[in-house]
Amino acid sequence: MLLSHRQLCLLLLCTTQFVALLDFSITMIPLPQIQHSLGFTPGGLQWVINAYGVAIAGFLLLGGRAADLFGRRRVFIAGLLLFTAASLLGGFSHSPAMLVATRALQGFGAAMFSPAAFSLLLAVFPEPAQRNRALGAWTAVAASGFVAGLILGGFITDLLGWRWVLWINVPVGLLVLALSPALPQGRPDAAAAGGALDVWGALLVASGAATLVFAFANSEHVGLAHPLTFALVALALALLALFVWVEGRVAAPLMPLAVFLRRSTGGANVVSLLANTALGPTFVVVALAMQEVLGFSATRTGLGLLPMAVAFTLASAWAGPALIARCGTKPVIVGGMLLFIGGLAMLGASLATLASWAASILPGTVLAGIGYGLAFPAWTVAGIDGVPEADHGLAGGMLTTTQEVGSAVGLAVGVAVSIAVLAGGGTAAQGYSGAILVSACLVAAGLACAIAILPGKAARQEAAS
Total number of residues shown for the chain = 465
Please check whether residue 136 is in contact with residue 316, taking contact to mean a CB–CB distance below 8 angstroms: yes
What CA–CA distance (Å, rounded) separates 228 from 186?
Answer: 46
Closest to 58 (Cα-Cα) out of 397, 414, 376:
397
Distances in Å between the Cα of 334 and the Cα atoms of 311, 337, 369, 407 are 18, 5, 15, 20
Closest to 272 (Cα-Cα) out of 122, 13, 57, 22:
57
Contacts of 337 (CB under 8 A, 6+ apart): 271, 275, 371, 375, 443, 446, 447, 450
What CA–CA distance (Å, rounded) separates 427 from 418?
Answer: 9
Contacts of 306 (CB under 8 A, 6+ apart): 147, 151
> pTM score, two decimals?
0.77
Reported as a single tens digit per residue, the pLDDT across 352-367 is 888 889 888 999 999 9
Q: What is the 3-state secondary structure (H, E, C) of 112-135?
A: HHHHHHHHHHHHHCCCHHHHHHHH
Contacts of 232 (CB under 8 A, 6+ apart): 211, 212, 214, 215, 218
The separation between CA 350 and the C-alpha centre of its own chain, rounded to angstroms, equals 26
Q: Is the pLDDT of residue 386 over 80?
A: no
What CA–CA distance (Å, rounded) separates 427 from 424?
Answer: 9
Q: What is the pLDDT of residue 189?
A: 54
HSE on the CB side for 138, CA within 13 Å? 29
Percent of the chain exceeding pLDDT 90 equals 27
Please check whether residue 209 is in contact with residue 54, taking contact to mean a CB–CB distance below 8 angstroms: yes
HSE on the CB side for 236, CA within 13 Å? 20
Q: What is the DSSP letter of 379?
A: H
Percent of the chain exceeding pLDDT 70 equals 92
Is the C-alpha dihedral spanning 235, 237, 241, 244 positive or negative?
positive
Reported as a single tens digit per residue, the pLDDT across 76-102 is 999 999 999 999 999 999 999 999 999
What CA–CA distance (Å, rounded) separates 369 from 384?
Answer: 23
Q: Got the DSSP string for 276-333? A: HTTHHHHHHHHHHIIIIIS---HHHHHHHTHHHHHHHHHIIIIIHHHHHHHH-HHHHH
What CA–CA distance (Å, rounded) separates 215 from 232?
Answer: 5
Reported as a single tens digit per residue, the pLDDT across 152-198 is 888 888 889 889 999 999 999 999 999 988 888 766 654 454 556 77
Q: How large is the average pLDDT for residues 430-442?
A: 91
What CA–CA distance (Å, rounded) separates 134 from 97?
Answer: 39
Reported as a single tens digit per residue, the pLDDT across 282-309 is 877 888 888 888 888 878 887 888 888 7
Q: What is the DSSP letter of 454?
A: S
Distances in Å between the Cα of 367 and the Cα atoms of 22, 87, 161 are 21, 34, 33
Contacts of 454 (CB under 8 A, 6+ apart): 263, 264, 267, 268, 271, 329, 330, 333, 382
Q: What is the pLDDT of residue 2?
A: 59
Contacts of 98 (CB under 8 A, 6+ apart): 89, 90
329-351 vs 428-453: helix crossing angle, rounded to 10 = 160
What CA–CA distance (Å, rounded) separates 50 from 7?
Answer: 33
What CA–CA distance (Å, rounded) separates 217 from 208?
Answer: 14
* Lowest mean per-residue pLDDT among 22-31, 59-68, 141-150, 329-338: 141-150
Grade residue 337 by pLDDT with cuts at 50, 70 and 90. Answer: very high
